[in-house]
Amino acid sequence: MKIYTKTGDDGTTALFDGTRVPKHHTRVDLYGDVDELNSCLGIAVSFIKDKTFQAELKNIQKDLFALGSKFANPKEKKHPPKADQPQAGKDKADFGDEKILALEKAIDRMEVSLQPMKSFILPGGSPASAFLHHTRTICRRAERKLTAFSEREGMESLYTKYLNRLSDYLFVAARFANHLEKTPDVPW
């Protein structure tokens, strides 16, 4: 399979269902931010030595890939099928409340190891922490774009909750990365 198709040479791209839209379409901009978020998280992972923490972050990368596919699908609307309605089998893009719960449990687990915060902290410390802080800011941007997009076109609120919780997770993960590297947080 060739990587170049030349179909985007006219400034359009295909959504999940084949619909062609301008590359600057708000939906494309939204899933582009999720792609950037995922890529930045991959950089952070490359600096993390702890295999369990690394695996947890790689699972979040898989979740972000699934989330991007939801945003690339114009059929994805505010109200997904109810649990009692027949659906196709589970696939890699399935997304539910369990993703948010997993982030909350991970936050709670990491916070046990961290000193209580006595001031605001500046993004930085170890390279992994710096990239996790940067990833958090991309997550917040994606969240802002998602809320604006949802007001116009409708989108499942679960995705907003996920990005909100993920940004909390990434903040704690940045502190946890410093903890693992025995690098202090940078107080403001």
Asked whether 52 and 46 are in contact (CB, 8 A), the reply is: no
Closest by CA to 26, choosing from 151, 136, 138, 137, is 151
Amino acid symbol at 151: E
CB 149 within 8 A of CB 27: yes
- The model carries a pTM of 0.88
* R_g of the chain computed on alpha carbons: 18
Res 79: pLDDT: 47
- Spell out the per-residue pLDDT of the chain, length 188, in tens: 788 888 788 888 888 888 898 788 899 999 999 999 999 999 999 999 999 999 999 999 999 999 999 999 888 765 444 444 444 445 556 778 999 999 999 999 999 999 999 999 999 999 999 999 999 999 999 999 999 999 988 888 899 999 999 999 999 999 999 999 999 999 99
26 neighbors 145 (Cβ within 8 angstroms): yes
Amino acid type, 68: G
Residue 14 pairs with which residues in a beta bridge? 20
Give the residue carrying structure tokens 């839209």: 21
Which residues neighbour 127 within 8 Å (Cβ) at sequence distance 6 or greater?
47
Domains detected in the chain = 23-77+94-187 (1.20.1200.10)
Which residue in 165, 159, 134, 133 sits closest to 147, CA to CA? 159
Q: Which token pair is 41?
A: 């998280």
Residue 93: the pLDDT is: 65
- Look up tokens 């027949």; give the residue: 86
Q: What is the pLDDT of residue 10?
A: 83
Classify residue 61 as exposed, middle or buried by CB count within 10 Å of its CB (0-12, 13-18, 19+): middle
Amino acid at 144: R
